[in-house]
Chain A
Amino acid sequence: MPFFNTQIKFASDIVAANISILVILIAAVIYISLAKKWKMTWSLIRTMDHRKIGILYIAWGFIFFLRAGLDAMLMRTQLAFPNFHFWVFQGDKYDQVMTTHGTLMIFFVAMPFLIGLMNIAVPLQIGAREIAFPFFNSLSMWLFVIGGLLINMSFVMGGAPSTGWTSYVPLAVDKDIVGNGTAFYDMGVQVSGIGTIMTSINMITTILKHRAPGMGFMKIPLFTWSALITSILILFAFPVLSAALLILLFDNQFGTQIFSGEHGNPVLWQHLFWAFGHPEVYIVILPAFGVFSQVISTFASKRIFGYSSMVLSMLVIGFLSFMVWIHHMFTVGLGAFANVVFAITSMLIAVPTGIKIFNWLFTIRGGSVRFTTAMLYSLAFIPSFVIGGVTGVMQAVVPADYQYHDSYFVVAHLHYVMVGGTVFGAFSGFYYWWPKMFGYILNDKIGKWQAWTFIIGFHMTFLPMHLSGLQGMPRRTFTYLPEDGLFEFNFISTMGAYLMAISVLLFIWNVFYSYQKKSRRGVADPWDGRTMEWAVSSPSSHMRWPYLPVVRDLENLWYAKEHGNGTLPFSKKEEKRIVVEKPTIIPLLLSGGFFTISFGLIFAVPLITITGFAGTLLLMAWRSITYERSIDLYTSEQLEEAIRREEA
């Protein structure tokens, strides 16, 4: 079928994908209608509440998580047996599924999970009423959703990107690439990247400018510190990707040859990509470190060991993350000197990370540990991440890296840090902050089943990959021969992957089960919390503080519990101008404009692109002109009154 300058072939997998999309959409519409939730949906998509925006981040991230997880299942099934032919997932189709898996998991699962948690927890932890710019917060979230949808749509619109999440040139701009895959990758990541940069600006401004009175820098809880450092990394890393993607767009759609062709320079793409790409892996791990710091300190019932060294080590990690990118390119041939310098900086990162690991261990030591699900994930993280870290140092050894490069050893390493670090951290954070998000506690028994199946499945999947990699199995291949001696490793990996899939289903079941049970006992502070987010009601109410809480200690709530009746003291200062944004649909419409621009660029239809640009600019102008009407101004007294009315 012709479709805007391309062809869509209705093969069995495309038809199946189309049918499942239709079924899900119809089911969603029927559910919302039957449950009479249209009004709620309408208010949710217009919301300016940082907690709800955080929930939307996580919900959309979870949808993409399921899609990317399905891709992983397809890949693992295809790789379960030597010379196997599973459905259509060989050759180019395998490449598409693999690329979608990588791109989605990093940009549209790991990042929204963590940014969602930041949105929920950071304002509460620092005693702010809201994120600095709620409008941009909502816009960032919708831009991320649009980017994710673009990547997801590509599969049924003539071919998904198929050149790996790194999208190396000249392969990515090769004429033989099926469909508009690279363009979908380019615009999807670009649009969500714009949103991510805006979030980082928002987050830094919030943390710098909206801390409660008394909160000096060394009284900021560690999760907020990690959010601050992550945001700084985003701010300086993502624009490099934006520039690189802009050039890639021109190479791909407008016939320039900067990265490719006779005279272009493909290594420049690798430099730009990894100058972004290496900070990126710290962007997705530092917030997870922050989560672990909160969870471990809460459930060990102890103040975090070595707070200042924790902060310092995060700063050092953030700083070093910008000077190690060549270690992804050791085999390019940049010469011994460059390789050695970057090998040393790469190994140096192990030092601050090691400091953090020991601090967590010393926090647990001598504490009265409560083994909740959140704590279980944090405890599982420590050994898993150490394995991932050690294989990382192994690869920082240049001569050895020539052997590991592009083998399953690398796949094993990156999954040990991404899953063992980021995903464990996200799940830990979900179980920990779930009461604050939704006002009910996730069932601990199902949670523990979920955690154990996930942890065992994770090690089953990725531990054998070290060995298959050392045996010489190259990454990004769709099959192997019986005589390669790789069958056992791959089969165990596939079984482990299925176990992880079961675990994810268990999580979904837990959400529904606990929702019906509504375990609300002591939901405002179920874990005997130490930081300020546990001092407000659950779910946290919007704007909540007519008078800001006064911060006396790093663990402000714990301090109040020790030195009083457990309620925070509040500032007496009467504020004259508290800005409250009214809910608005403009962020969603604006991201629709970005979608139109992207669609036009991907399918090379200038008219659609120009319409998109015009619409986007007009919406921005509209927002600017109606700004005075789109906010409410309160004094502290009025806000107190408004909150009391809402509660009644």
Chain B
Amino acid sequence: MGVESNVENSTETLLEYSSPRKTSMFLFICAEAVIFGSLFATYFVMLHHLGDGPGPKEFFKFKEIILPTILLLSSSLTWYLAEKTLHLREKGKTLFFIGLTALLALGFLSLEMIEFLKNIGEGYTLSRSPFISSYYLLVGLHGCHVLFGILWMALLLIHVKTKGSTVANHGRFVSFGIYWHFVDSVWVFIFLLLYALGQFL
């Protein structure tokens, strides 16, 4: 009886603690999805506002985006492992996987910066044409989310290092997990609708 009620109590605590958190994170994701949705819509409207700039076929280099895509999408997997190892109370592994996730994200972000700099070098600056502006806004905002995610992961590293597998840390991981998988899935849409579809427009 004693053990049973203990288990029941701690499960209940965990549920009570992370359930409102989960709800609110999903609601936050709804808001974020609407923001990105609006920017996707803007991008598609701007497909017809090329000015004297290039069209999507000329502008997007499909081959160069494959590596960053692989980096970012695999970071979702490493994050999943980080979350699982936290639940198993394997602190060292958790720290390793958070670090790996952050590194993959950092790799993605540096490749994106290189792409931006290349674009600017070719004369495709922010204000070249409405089409290119909308591309920068959408991809740039996603990049900001990745950057924010990296900073967040740095914070999580500190939390895990100092406190280990506590209830509060489980809650933090739940929140960040939802955020990070969302950021990745936005990239899937960017990859498909901008880079891949751009080859056929």
Residues of A participating in the B interface, judged by any CB pair closer than 8 Å: 132-133, 197, 200-202, 204-205, 208-210, 235-236, 238-240, 242-244, 246-247, 250, 254-258, 261-265, 268, 272, 275, 576-577, 617, 621, 624-625, 627-628
Contacts and interface: CB of A to CB of B under 8 A. Distances in A.
A258 B50 CA distance: 10
Contact of A257 (B12, B130, B137, B158): B130
Given A239-B35, A624-B159, A205 B49 contact: no
A219 to B, nearest CB: 20
B71 interface: no
A256 B133 contact: yes
Given A205-B27, A627-B168, A272 B49 contact: no
A40 B39 CA distance: 45
A205 B24 contact: yes
Given A209-B19, A209-B20, 5 more contacts: A200-B27, A205-B23, A235-B30, A256-B127, A263-B50
Contacts of A246: 137, 141
B38 A265 contact: no
A118 B189 CA distance: 37
10 contacts: A132-B24, A200-B27, A204-B23, A205-B27, A239-B31, A243-B42, A247-B39, A268-B45, A272-B38, A625-B159
Contacts, number: 113
A258 B46 contact: yes
Contacts of A263: 49-51, 129-130
Interface string B68-88: 000000000000000000000
B127 A255 contact: yes
B110 interface: no
Contacts of B12: 576
B46 A243 contact: no
Contacts of A242: 35
Nearest to A206: B20
A554 B160 CA distance: 45
B30 A247 contact: no
B32 interface: yes
B13 interface: yes
Contact size range, B: 35 or more
> Looking at chain B's contact residues, is the secondary structure mostly helix, strand, loop, or mixed?
helix
A621 B155 contact: yes
Interface in B111-154: 126-127, 129-130, 133-134, 136-137, 141, 151
Contacts of B19: 209
Contacts of A202: 24
B127 A133 contact: no
A611 B46 CA distance: 33
B28 interface: yes
A133 B32 CA distance: 19
Contacts of A238: 31
Contact of A265 (B46, B127, B136): B46
Nearest to A136: B24
Contacts of B141: 246
B106 to A, nearest CB: 17
Nearest to A251: B133
B34 interface: yes
A240 B13 contact: no
A242 B141 CA distance: 12
B34 A256 contact: no
B155 A624 contact: yes
Contacts of A257: 51, 127, 129-130, 133
B4 interface: no
Contact of B155 (A250, A275, A576, A625): A625
A335 to B, nearest CB: 16
B38 A244 contact: yes
Interface in B41-66: 42, 45-46, 49-51
B9 interface: yes
Interface string B1-23: 00000000100110011011001
A621 B158 CA distance: 10
A275 B136 CA distance: 23
A275 B50 CA distance: 25
A265 B49 contact: yes
B23 A209 contact: yes
Interface string B158-190: 110001000010001000000000000000000
Contacts of A209: 19-20, 23
Given A257-B127, A263-B49, A235 B133 contact: no
A439 B27 CA distance: 35
Given A205-B27, A257-B133, A265-B45, A243 B35 contact: yes
Given A256-B127, A263-B130, A239 B38 contact: yes
A624 B154 CA distance: 12
A273 to B, nearest CB: 11
B16 A577 contact: yes
A575 to B, nearest CB: 9
Contact of B20 (A210, A576, A577, A627): A210
A265 B134 CA distance: 12
Contact of B32 (A204, A210, A239, A261): A239
Contact of A240 (B34, B49, B151, B155): B34
A239 B34 contact: yes
Contacts of B24: 132-133, 201-202, 204-205
A181 to B, nearest CB: 22
A247 B135 CA distance: 12
B54 to A, nearest CB: 13
A265 B35 contact: no
**5 tightest Cβ-Cβ pairs between the two chains A and B:** A243-B38, A239-B34, A256-B133, A263-B51, A255-B127
